[in-house]
Chain A
Amino acid sequence: MKEKLIEKVLLVIACSAIAIIFLIFLFIFIEGLPVFVKTGVIRFIFSSNWAPTKGNFGILPMIIGSILVTFGALVIGILFGLACAILLACFAPKGVTRVLKPLIELLAGIPSVVYGFIGVVVLIPIIRNTLGGPGFSVLAASVILGIMISPTIIAVSLDALRAVPLAYKEGSLALGATQWQTVYQILIPAAKSGIIAGIILGMGRAVGETMAVIMIAGNSLKIPRSPLDPVRTLTSNIALEMGYASGMHQEALFACGVVLFIIIMILNTLALLTIGRRNG
């Protein structure tokens, strides 16, 4: 009797994660719905006129901003993150990996506001003095976000590379391939789905990052024409205006949240499917 009860209670608890996802979507969607109805989904997404006090809600500049910044962050994150993961999984001595792995995990734990702050006091003056422009830019946001997402890419790719059966590696080496040939012709293709999943998860982090981006991206409402132009992302738009928005304006910010939620859920599902295919 007691056993049955405990099992039932645990079952209810286990449903909490699903329930929370559902609640989040429900509440944000209900708040954002009026804007979608009045403005129209197409106009909301493809109009570049964001003047909330006049009732104009078009988020195209922010969507483009998010895409540009995320793309830039991915270039940097993949370049350095993947190199780091390959080195630690395949070449570095065991002792080095044992020391470096926790350090890289530490990099993931540093608050995003601190990254943003480093961007403001270190990176932005450098960009302003060497490349010109205001410094607050797509470039600055990409670099800082790239640094922020590399730990995610490193951690997931490292696990994927290590999960490749040892026999693959031994077989390749026994056939006379060099270590590097083994890595890029055997290990990387075998770990491909895990590596891609890591990249997609990193992408999710870059799309969703808010505070660091507000501090360094400049938050201009114009669509940027060069990497040195300031830019505003979907997330920073929400956080910047949430403090004083009310009525229809606030609902429009929730509508931004709906768009963001949907983008993130698509990325999550893609990442989980790629990981799942490897396990299955």
Chain B
Amino acid sequence: MANQSFRIPPILNQRIAQVLLWLATIITLLVLFFIIIFILIRGLRVINFDFLFSLPLHMGKAGGIVSPIIGTIYLTALAIILATPLGVGSAIYLTEYTKENIFTKIIRFGADCLAGIPSIIFGLFGFILFVIKLRMGWSILSGGLTLAFMILPTIIRTSEEAIKAVPTAYREVSTALGGSKWQTVSRVVIPVALPGILTGVILSIGRCIAETACVIFTAGSSLRIPTSIFDSSRTLAVHFYILTREGISMERAYGTAVILILAIILVNFLAYWIMYRFIRRMGGYVG
């Protein structure tokens, strides 16, 4: 409509629009590269064997980051172990056992809402329920449970998509051969959908690693190496936050940030690679 009143030739109009769009996209991408390269340049020189495998000293002013690394692994592992069966089970029920009805709509609505709840709310909830009411204290158990709740919707969604992508013919063949519903699901559908489910799990690992607000109030910020799930422990992201916020050591903060970013890049790469292969095998395309 604009070009009717101002009489800008449509082709020129298109050129201008394209230039602006490219400009905005390039700026967005430059920001991404800038963030990653900035952190890597300043932080990579801090990284060495000692930094990765020795204990933090003087609140993190010196020494390494081995205990936050172990804390991150424990918390993430616990959250994944708890959330995966719940998430995959929900997805199986939604896709294989019911037709679309009001009940499935409510469940999907719940999962989608849960996905949108900010981590600080999960933090408040985990703090009051696990840390205080259930007397678990600041511990890996409290943190892991809270994180599990947080990543549940991601696992439900991706598993659902993966299970839906399995061709109906697979199920029909299994049923025709006399397989029961559960035999079909557990021996045909799930194995075929496994790479897709795995993608969701890996993306959830990324979310656990990146999380700060909900972990700091549930797992605490102890710098000791945790020996059981009832110990408090800080994750890498929490360690990084405390180092910068309290101005303890910029150098160590950059080093910690490098490990965080490398972990996230690895996780995303892995997830994308598995998904790409899965979709190609299912006869779709990635684009």
CB <8 Å contact, A242 and B127: yes
Binds B, one of A90-98, A134-142, A167-175, A221-229: A90-98
The answer to whether A39 has its CB under 8 Å from any CB of chain B is no
A3-B180, A87-B25 as given contacts; A113 in contact with B35, CB under 8 Å: no
CB <8 Å contact, B261 and A147: no
The chain A residue with its CB closest to the CB of B125 is: A24
Complex-state Cα separation, A215 to B243, whole angstroms: 12
State how many angstroms separate the Cβ of B29 from the closest Cβ of chain A: 7
CB <8 Å contact, A107 and B180: no
CB <8 Å contact, A215 and B264: no
Binds B, one of A48-56, A124-132, A253-261: A253-261
CB <8 Å contact, B114 and A238: no
Which residues of chain B are within 8 angstroms of A165 by Cβ–Cβ distance?
none
CB <8 Å contact, A10 and B97: yes
CB <8 Å contact, A264 and B116: yes
Map CB proximity to B onto A13-30 as digits: 1 under 8 Å, 0 otherwise: 111111011011001100
Which residues of chain B are within 8 angstroms of A86 by Cβ–Cβ distance?
21
Which residues of chain A are within 8 angstroms of B110 by Cβ–Cβ distance?
17-18, 20-21
CB <8 Å contact, B240 and A27: no
CB <8 Å contact, B241 and A180: no
Complex-state Cα separation, A239 to B217, whole angstroms: 9
Number of A-B contacts (CB under 8 A): 238
Complex-state Cα separation, A150 to B152, whole angstroms: 23
CB <8 Å contact, A83 and B237: no
The chain B residue with its CB closest to the CB of A272 is: B112
The answer to whether A37 has its CB under 8 Å from any CB of chain B is no
Complex-state Cα separation, A109 to B89, whole angstroms: 25
- In B206-263, the 8 Å CB interface with A consists of 206-207, 209-213, 216-217, 237, 240-241, 244-245, 253, 257, 260-261
Which residues of chain B are within 8 angstroms of A210 by Cβ–Cβ distance?
118-120, 212-213
Complex-state Cα separation, A112 to B119, whole angstroms: 11
Q: Find A103's partner among B32, B212, B261 (CB 8 Å cutoff).
A: B32
Give the number of residues in A that approach B within 8 Å (Cβ atoms): 87
The answer to whether B156 has its CB under 8 Å from any CB of chain A is yes
Give the number of residues in B that approach A within 8 Å (Cβ atoms): 86
Q: Find A238's partner among B92, B109, B120 (CB 8 Å cutoff).
A: B120
CB <8 Å contact, A117 and B29: no
* Chain B residues engaging chain A, CB cutoff 8 angstroms: 3, 10-11, 13-14, 17-18, 20-25, 27-29, 31-32, 35-36, 38-39, 85-86, 89-90, 92-94, 97, 106-107, 109-114, 116-125, 127-129, 133, 149, 152-153, 156, 180-182, 203, 206-207, 209-213, 216-217, 237, 240-241, 244-245, 253, 257, 260-261, 264-265, 267-269, 272, 286-287
* Chain A residues engaging chain B, CB cutoff 8 angstroms: 2-3, 6-7, 9-11, 13-18, 20-21, 23-24, 27-28, 31, 79-81, 83-84, 86-88, 91-92, 94, 97-98, 100, 102-107, 109-118, 120, 122, 147, 150, 177-181, 183-184, 201, 204-205, 207-211, 214-215, 235, 238-239, 242, 253-254, 257, 260-261, 264-265, 267-269, 271-272
Query: A104-B32, A211-B241 are known contacts; what are 18 more A-B pairs with Cβ within 8 Å?
Result: A10-B93, A14-B107, A17-B156, A84-B28, A104-B28, A105-B272, A109-B203, A109-B267, A110-B261, A111-B211, A111-B260, A116-B244, A150-B28, A180-B17, A208-B121, A254-B124, A261-B117, A272-B113
A-B contact pairs, 13 of them (CB 8 A): A87-B24, A88-B25, A91-B21, A102-B268, A102-B269, A109-B207, A110-B264, A112-B212, A210-B119, A210-B212, A210-B213, A242-B123, A268-B116
